[in-house]
Amino acid sequence: MTKEFIRTLDSQGRISLPKELRQALCLDYGDSVSFAYFDGTVTMHLKEKCPSPECYVCKSPEREIRVGGKDICPSCLEKAIELIA
């Protein structure tokens, strides 16, 4: 089923992607996308594939948060916090 999203350009020609779409495409702040225009149709392409459903650091299937488009598990998050504390 096709789902349509309508957005209004701001004064600088920008639009925001709906949260539902960003989540479905695993897009996060800083991720890149490209647009192609052909014969009246615009297609958006993701520069990176949706990350696999696992911790980016230890590959555990458990995920806690997303940082820079990467999923981190609770254990790795705790270790990272200890490193910066």
Q: Does 76 bind Zn ion (CB under 5 A)?
A: yes
Under rule CB under 5 A, residue 63 binds Zn ion: no
Tokens of 74: 């609770």
Residue 67 touching Zn ion (CB under 5 A): no
Among 22, 28, 51, 60, binds Zn ion (CB under 5 A): 60
Q: Which tokens in the block code for residue 81?
A: 């916090």
Of the pair 21, 69, the CB lying nearest Zn ion is at 69
Q: Does 73 bind Zn ion (CB under 5 A)?
A: yes
The least CB distance from residue 70 to Zn ion, in Å, is 10
Q: Give me the DSSP letters along 7-75.
A: ----TTS-----HHHHHHTT--TT--EEEEEETTEEEEEESSPPPPSS-TTT--S---EEETTEEE-HH
Per the DSSP assignment, residues forming a β-bridge with 34 are 45
Task: Report the nearest approach of Zn ion to the CB of residue 57 (Å).
Answer: 4
| Shortest spacing between CB 58 and Zn ion, in angstroms | 3
